[in-house]
């Protein structure tokens, strides 16, 4: 059987995300900047980010809170609403300061994904610092950024990496 099951795809996506994040933590270790986590979900990735980047300010974006109680970000770091609205507002406050943006906003609905890809591609560049890294579960077209190869062990097509110029 050559078809990947939903369980296969989930496993490979989580594996790729974990491998990419471990690589990113090393890449940004000596660089100042804040972190954006877009798509809180149940809070697992947020928990991972705050554990491995305890000195960083991490701002979390989502439509609503639906996470484990112990993975809820502080109110002053939580930006709720449509990603287009919250990310546009964040650009005024955090323009050019984000060293890592993790976007996990995709779904199994292709129409939804197309809309999210367009919003992120349009709005993310305004917040990114020179040399920032973007990790996304959806392919993006970011002005001023180039696609990076995934680290060894991460399966192609499960996550996408970008780095801004500078």
What's the 3-state SS for the chain? CCCCCHHHHHHHHHHHHHHHHHHHHHHCCCCCCEEEEECCCCCHHHHHHHHHCCCCCEEEEECCCCCCHHHCCCHHHEEECCHHHHHHHHHHHHCCCEEEEEECCCCCCHHHHHHHHHHHHHHHHHCEEEEEEEEECCCCCCCCEEEECCCCCCCECCEEEEEECC
The per-residue pLDDT for 148 is 97
- The reported pTM is 0.94
pLDDT digits (tens, 9 = 90+) for 88-131: 999 999 999 999 999 999 888 899 999 999 999 999 999 999 99
Asked which of 5-14, 56-65, 73-82, 97-106 is least confident by mean pLDDT, the reply is: 5-14
Give residue 146's pLDDT band: very low, low, confident or very high (50, 70, 90): very high
- Calculate mean pLDDT across residues 63-67: 89
Has residue 38 got a pLDDT over 80?
yes
Has residue 1 got a pLDDT over 70?
no
């Amino acid at each position: 059987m050559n078809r990947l099951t939903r369980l296969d795809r989930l496993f490979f996506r989580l594996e790729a995300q974990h491998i990419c994040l471990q690589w990113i933590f090393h890449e940004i270790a000596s660089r100042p900047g804040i972190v954006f986590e877009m798509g809180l979900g149940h809070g697992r990735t947020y928990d991972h980010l705050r554990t491995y980047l305890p000195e960083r300010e991490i701002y979390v974006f989502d439509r609503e809170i639906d996470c484990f109680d112990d993975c809820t970000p502080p109110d002053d770091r939580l930006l709720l609403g449509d990603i287009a609205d919250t990310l546009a507002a964040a650009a005024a406050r955090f323009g050019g300061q984000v060293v890592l943006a993790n976007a996990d906003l995709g779904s199994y609905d292709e129409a939804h994904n197309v809309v999210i890809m367009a919003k992120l591609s349009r709005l993310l560049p305004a917040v990114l610092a020179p040399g920032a890294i973007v990790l996304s579960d959806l392919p993006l077209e970011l002005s001023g950024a180039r696609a990076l190869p995934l680290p060894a062990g991460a399966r192609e097509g499960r996550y996408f990496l970008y780095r801004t110029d500078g």
